[in-house]
Amino acid sequence: MEWKDLLRKAEEVFEKEPRLIRLPSKGKVVFVGDTHGDLEAGEKVIQRYLKKPNHIVFLGDYVDRGNYSEENIQYLVRCKLEHPEEVFLLAGNHEGFMVKEFSPANFWESLAIEEKEEYGRLFSKFPIAAATQNGILALHGALPDLKTLEDMNRVELGDEHWDRVAWGDFVESGTDYAGDLWGRPQFGREYFNRLMARYQKNILVRSHQPGAPLIMFNKRCITIFTSNVYLPIRTIAIADLEKDISDAEGVVLEKI
Ligand SMILES: [Mn+2]
- The reply to whether 208 belongs to the active site is no
Interacting residues of 211 by C-beta distance below 8 A, sequence separation 6+:
none
Residue 69: Cβ-neighbour burial (10 angstroms; 0-12, 13-18, 19+): buried
Question: Measured in angstroms, how far is the CA atom of residue 90 from the centroid of ligand 1?
Answer: 11
Identify any residues that bridge with 254 across adjacent strands, giving them in sequence order.
236
**Residues of the chain where predicted confidence (pLDDT) is lower than 70:** none
pTM over 0.95: yes
Question: Measured in angstroms, how far is the CA atom of residue 211 from the centroid of ligand 1?
Answer: 12
Classify the C-alpha dihedral 69-72-75-79 as positive or negative.
negative
pLDDT of residue 137: 98
Interacting residues of 150 by C-beta distance below 8 A, sequence separation 6+:
20
What are the angstrom distances between the C-alpha of 31 and each of 113, 117, 234?
32, 28, 12
Residue 12: count of CB within 10 angstroms of its CB = 10
Structural domains in the chain plus CATH codes: 3-255 (3.60.21.10)
Q: Which residues surround ligand 1, an ion (CB under 5 A)?
A: 61, 92-93, 208
pLDDT of residue 31: 98
Span 123-147, pLDDT tens digits: 999 999 999 999 999 999 999 999 9
Question: Measured in angstroms, how far is the CA atom of residue 167 from the centroid of ligand 1?
Answer: 6
pLDDT of residue 1: 80
Classify the C-alpha dihedral 45-104-216-214 as positive or negative.
positive
Question: Measured in angstroms, how far is the CA atom of residue 92 from the centroid of ligand 1?
Answer: 5
Could you write out the three-class secondary structure of 51-80? CCCCEEEECCCCCCCCCCHHHHHHHHHHHH
pLDDT of residue 231: 82
Identify the three-state secondary structure at position 6: helix
pLDDT of residue 174: 85
pLDDT of residue 80: 98
Which listed residue (94, 140, 161, 208) is catalytic?
94
